[in-house]
Amino acid sequence: MSVEKVKKWMDNAEIGSSVIYYTGNLAEDRCYDKDVEVTPNAFREYAEEKRVEFFQKRKTKVDRSQTPKKHIHDYIVRKIK
């Protein structure tokens, strides 16, 4: 999601609306691809104004094997103001 799409979503979304802005492992993926930071940083400005809130939903099951899978999450932002 580009910065322009973030702004458009904020301008048009109703309060209570949410959008998945990233799927993966955000903390880990940021280390290898700096472009991953663009969307969360764009939403962070709105969070500082208390207009959105962040949450995440795990997509992978907890794996207790010798070689566990990488944790994958949906990273979601919800408009609150």
Average pLDDT of the residues of the chain: 89
Total of domains in the chain: 1
H or E stretch at 28: helix 26-32
CA-CA distance, 59 to 45, in Å (whole number)? 26
Find the distance separating the first CA and the last CA of the chain, reported in whole Å. Answer: 21
pTM of this prediction?
Answer: 0.82
Q: Is residue 65's pLDDT more than 70?
A: no
Residue 27: pLDDT band with limits 50, 70, 90: confident
Host domain of residue 46:
3-79
